[in-house]
Amino acid sequence: MNILVGITGGIAAYKTPLLVRLLRKAGHQVKCVATRHALQFVTPLTLETVSGNKIYADLFDSNNDHTTEHISLKDWGDMMVVAPATANIIGKMATGIGDDALSTLLLSFMRKPIYLAPAMNTQMWECPAVQRNIEYLRCIGIHIIEPASGDLACGTTGTGRMPEPEEIMQVLSSATRKPDLSGKRVLVTAGPTYERIDSVRFIGNYSSGKMGFALAQVLAEHGAHVELVTGPTALKINHPNIHRVDIESAREMYEAATAAFPTCQAAILSAAVADFRPDHTADHKLKKQGAEGMTLTLVQNPDILATLGTMKTQDQTLIGFALETDNEMDNAHKKLEKKKLDYIVLNSLRDAGAGFGVDTNRVTIISRDGKTHATPLLTKGQVAEEIVNYCLGSKS
Ligand code: CTP
């Protein structure tokens, strides 16, 4: 793979040459793009020696073909990793500023995989503006390698330290083993469903859609065409390979998913579908019912995953999720059998940092032949990589 390594001006830049060496040892071609401030911490000669290529730092360097360098590098690279990424470069990426070689390259690279390893002082990392920028970058599919906790260069202890190069390599390794899914169509369901009670009220759940959107992004980056059927969510996604279908209720999701599935080679159903809906929806706002209250009768919704299980042909791969609180493995195995799945991704609500609303997740993938693959606590983007690589890597 051709990997572009971006380096910005943080003390952790002294570790980046080691990351470059590890990438080269793993068989990748590497070109480094540094900011002016990065070169206060690491020398051009070091980066050129370990990468085996000249470095790019100055947009207008007379050695560069300065009118097109950011474009030709963009075409050369298959993936970019910025380590360390300062609050400054994060802010520029989130607001679309390109004022040097690295930031202009990043803007032109947004349709390809970008990994950021933020490194900064804890107060800076926790600053609401930085967190807002990180959140936005995650939303548009940039992979964030979570900073580690520990001793910081400023003499304090806290979150903000760049993970060690070996740890960054581990995160990148699933991305560098990408299966090629070009020409494949994959259905993804995401988010909650809303079941209407009357014209202003509904029954819903806390699902944010983040896991399903991360899956859609990763699949699209692997070249697949994605049919993303999503319940109500504030998330945005923007990739030419993704066709987004917005629905509200479980029955609408059922219609969209069963219509799309026959032309897909795989389906990953991560939506938190409401199992029940009110048997009747009032077309006006219901009035207070007085002291006696009111009784809502619920009827069962169709099970989309189980229906796809009955429709599935030999060459289709069906992946479901299970959210369990008790007897997790046992129940997940039963669900896999009952719904005729190839894989089930077990989410445990007991894990701190996993589940609804949060940006991280820890899952166990169980395959039909009984094999299991457990992930550590990762960002939802990284979990999506694990799921896609494990379940679709050799099959689809
Ligand atoms: N699912 C679905 N349609 C439904 C309910 C669930 O497609 N009506 C899918 C979910 O998207 C998920 C999987 O089924 O991939 C498991 O959902 P979960 O809520 O864990 O299980 P249920 O099948 O609803 O079983 P139970 O609530 O009894 O545990």
Mutate to test the pocket of ligand 1, among 187, 189, 229, 303 (most ligand atoms within 8 A of CB): 303
Q: Name 276's Cβ contacts closer than 8 Å, sequence gap at least 6.
A: 195, 203, 298, 299, 300, 301
Give me the average pLDDT of each 10-residue run along the chain (396 residues): 96 97 95 96 96 86 57 87 98 96 92 90 94 88 85 78 91 74 96 97 95 95 95 93 97 98 98 97 92 93 98 97 88 95 87 68 89 81 89 68
Q: For tokens 């945005």, name the residue.
A: 236
Count of Cβ atoms closer than 10 Å to residue 261 Cβ: 22
The Cα 324–Cα 314 span in angstroms is: 28
Domains of the chain by start residue, with CATH:
2-176 (3.40.50.1950), 185-395 (3.40.50.10300)
Q: Name 16's Cβ contacts closer than 8 Å, sequence gap at least 6.
A: 5, 7, 32, 42, 47, 83, 84, 165
Cα 190 to ligand 1 centroid, rounded to whole Å: 12
Cα 306 to ligand 1 centroid, rounded to whole Å: 9
pLDDT computed for residue 373 by the predictor: 85
Could you tell me which of 142, 147, 144 has the C-alpha nearest to residue 123? 147
pLDDT computed for residue 151 by the predictor: 77
The Cα 90–Cα 110 span in angstroms is: 13
Q: Which ligand 1 atom sits nearest the alpha carbon of residue 344? A: 15
323 ligand 1 Cβ < 6 A: yes
pLDDT computed for residue 396 by the predictor: 37
The Cα 135–Cα 127 span in angstroms is: 12
pLDDT computed for residue 395 by the predictor: 43
Q: Which ligand 1 atom sits nearest the alpha carbon of residue 331? A: 29
- pTM of whole model > 0.75? no
pLDDT computed for residue 56 by the predictor: 92
The Cα 168–Cα 150 span in angstroms is: 16
127 is catalytic: no
pLDDT computed for residue 58 by the predictor: 78
**How deeply is 32 buried, as exposed, middle or buried, from its count of CB atoms within 10 A (0-12, 13-18, 19+)?**
buried
Cα 185 to ligand 1 centroid, rounded to whole Å: 23
Mutate to test the pocket of ligand 1, among 335, 337, 346 (most ligand atoms within 8 A of CB): 335
Cα 350 to ligand 1 centroid, rounded to whole Å: 18
Catalytic residue, chosen from 127, 139, 154, 391, is 154
